Amino acid sequence: MRIVVDFDLCESNAVCMGIAPEIFEVRDDDFLYVLDENPPESMRAKVEESVQRCPKQAISIAED
Amino acid sequence: MNSTTVIVGASLAGINAARTLRLNGQTGPIVVVDADPERPYDRPPLSKQMLTGEWEPEKILLPAGKEDLDLDFRLGVRAKAVDLGSRQITLETPNGNVETSAFDSLVIASGAAARRLPDTAGIAGVHVVRTLADSLSLRADLDAGPSRVVVIGAGFIGAEVASSCRKRGLDVTLVEALPLPLERILGPEMGRVCAQVHIENGVDLRLGTGVLQLETAAVDGVERVVGVALTDGTTVAADVVVVGIGVSVNTQWLEGSGLNLDDGVVCDDTLLAAPGVVAAGDIARYPSARFGRMLRVEHWETAIAGGEAAARRLLAEESGETPAVFDPIPWFWSDQYDRKIQLAGRPMPTDECVVVHGSTEEFRFVALYGDGDRLTGVLGMNRPRHVVQLRAIFEEGATFSQACERAAAL
């Protein structure tokens, strides 16, 4: 599982950070940083919730 | 679950209910009915990227609406009545045919409709922003380059429409009946800050004044708005008027059904309105133990979470599992100009409000709301990181003073 963020769409609502702070971090510059682009399978439910709840549909999961 | 579910409403709550049912074992038919003929779409961009012209309709289609979930979409079809005894719903098709459809369980997610000014139907140049058709119609009028847009109501929709018009370089007058915008939601102190944001962005802000009437003229044989007469005695010339004065819930079709209707569908704390009947999204009114009162929440995220929870409630009823209580912390965002406003919680305008990070002068801050020592809200302007962290602290059950303390350490 690889996390793909479309940074043209992302507007830093930080919803993903609320769901999975181990993976997503919005810093003081108001930009999103992906801390772990290849998270373990155990994080899949949280990543999927982040995909669903992103107000900009900016997050997707690539299976490669 | 091999029964038939009818979902009324194909927007965020309805489509997420459908998705949750299908992905969690419902094998029987799922019929999704909506009076709106469009494929399910996302509403937040309607007052922003759609109006500025940055996005086209294809871009706002909801992902769940495009998934292969084997849903029976009945778009452009209006729910007219429901009989909970015989489990029959009456539907009206676009060509006026009336038919009935049987169901075992029902999801009520018919949402709300934009309120309009009385006696303004049919006047060209007068708009609301609720549906894709509304947004495209307003956009066409903005494309024509109006000399001034008057926005009536400085709530979140009005504020975002004003912002989008300013981005297009249009002159905007924003009219608000209350002395301060958003005062009922954010209190007077933060209402003042929001007012200042409009003024800094070149909006002609008229506070504490109502609308007396719209001035119209016949243009090419069509009655068109040419101005707005205000209760303070002034008249503002305008080619386009946008009305953003809130919504009313779409419960007409439920009258006489026996469901408890009170500015929404009254549910229990699991979103159950009657056996086998759940409600979600803008229309659901549910008791919140967290806030100690009944809530009806019109937020984007509540529609998703409510749709999922309502579906799980039906699945639990079927399986005999203990249903989960629905009581999330409401959260929403609003983008206005280059500011992002986010609110978690449900403060009362009379609650205490303390800025814990940044400053209101810079329009970059976080404020906490408290009722006594009970934390009631987290408000951020261009501070998404702090809002999400404080929302988590809120979720943990922190008191107002604890949250203030922990905010200082973030």
- Give the tens place of pLDDT for each residue, B37-66: 999 999 999 999 999 999 999 999 998 888
For residues B49-79, b (16+ Cβ closer than 10 Å) or e, as one string? bbbbeeeebeebbbebbeeebebebbeebbb
- pLDDT at B224 (0 to 100): 97
Nearest to A14 among B42, B300, B384 (CB): B384
Residue in B with minimal Cα distance to A27: B385
Distance from CA of A40 to the nearest CA of B (A): 23
- Beta strand B364-371 with B374-381 is antiparallel
Distance from CA of B210 to the nearest CA of A (A): 33
Q: How far apart are CA B312 and CA B193, in angstroms?
A: 41
Domain count for chain A: 1
- pLDDT at B274 (0 to 100): 98
- pLDDT at B1 (0 to 100): 66
Q: Residue B118 contacts by C-beta under 8 Å, 6 or more apart in sequence?
A: none
- pLDDT at B238 (0 to 100): 97
Interchain contact, A11 vs B63, CB within 8 Å: no
Nearest to A14 among B300, B304, B388 (CB): B388
> Mean pLDDT in chain B?
97
CATH of the domain at A51: 3.30.70.20
- pLDDT at B66 (0 to 100): 87
Q: How far apart are CA A16 and CA B142, in angstroms?
A: 34
Locus of tokens 């403060």: B347
Cβ proximity of B22 and B71 under 8 Å? yes
The 10s digit of each residue's pLDDT in A2-59 is 999 999 999 999 999 999 999 999 998 999 999 999 999 999 999 999 999 999 999 9
What angle is formed at CA B134 by the lines to CA B96 and CA A6, rounded to 5 degrees?
Answer: 120
Closest CA to A40 of A16, A20, A25, A57: A20
Please tell us whether the domain made up of B338-408 is placed in CATH 3.40.50.261.
no
Range(s) within chain B of domains with CATH label 3.50.50.60: 5-113+247-319, 116-243
Distance from CA of residue B297 to its chain's centroid?
A: 8
In the predicted model, is pLDDT for residue B100 greater than 80? yes
Q: Which helix or strand (DSSP H or E) is residue B198 part of?
A: helix B183-200
Report the percent of chain B where pLDDT is more than 70: 100
Q: Which residues of B touch A28 (CB under 8 A)?
A: 385
Residue in B with minimal Cα distance to A11: B340
Structural class in CATH, domain B116-243: alpha beta
Q: Which residues of B touch A12 (CB under 8 A)?
A: 340, 384
> Quick check: B342 contacting A, CB < 8 Å?
yes
Q: Which residues of A touch B388 (CB under 8 A)?
A: 14-15, 17-18, 26
Report the percent of chain B where pLDDT is more than 90: 97
> Quick check: A15 contacting B, CB < 8 Å?
yes
Tell me phi and psi for residue B358, to 5 degrees.
70, -160
Q: How far apart are CA A36 and CA A18, in angstroms?
A: 15
Helix B300-319, helix B12-23: angle, nearest 10: 40
Q: Which residues of A touch B12 (CB under 8 A)?
A: none
Q: What is the mean pLDDT of residues B153-181?
A: 98
Q: Which two tokens stand for residue B235?
A: 């008249």
Interchain contact, B388 vs A55, CB within 8 Å: no
**Which residue of B364, B388, B393, B395 is the best one to mutate when testing the A interface, meaning the one whose CB has the most A CBs within 10 A?**
B388
- Supply the range of the domain harboring residue A31: 2-62
Q: What is the mean pLDDT of residues B302-331?
A: 96
Q: Any idea how long chain A is?
A: 64
Q: Which residues of B touch A55 (CB under 8 A)?
A: 44, 300-301, 333
The 10s digit of each residue's pLDDT in B123-136 is 999 999 999 999 99
- pLDDT at B308 (0 to 100): 97
The 10s digit of each residue's pLDDT in B350-383 is 999 999 999 999 999 999 999 999 999 999 999 9
The predicted model scores a pTM of 0.96
Q: B5-113+247-319, what's its fold?
A: FAD/NAD(P)-binding domain (3.50.50)
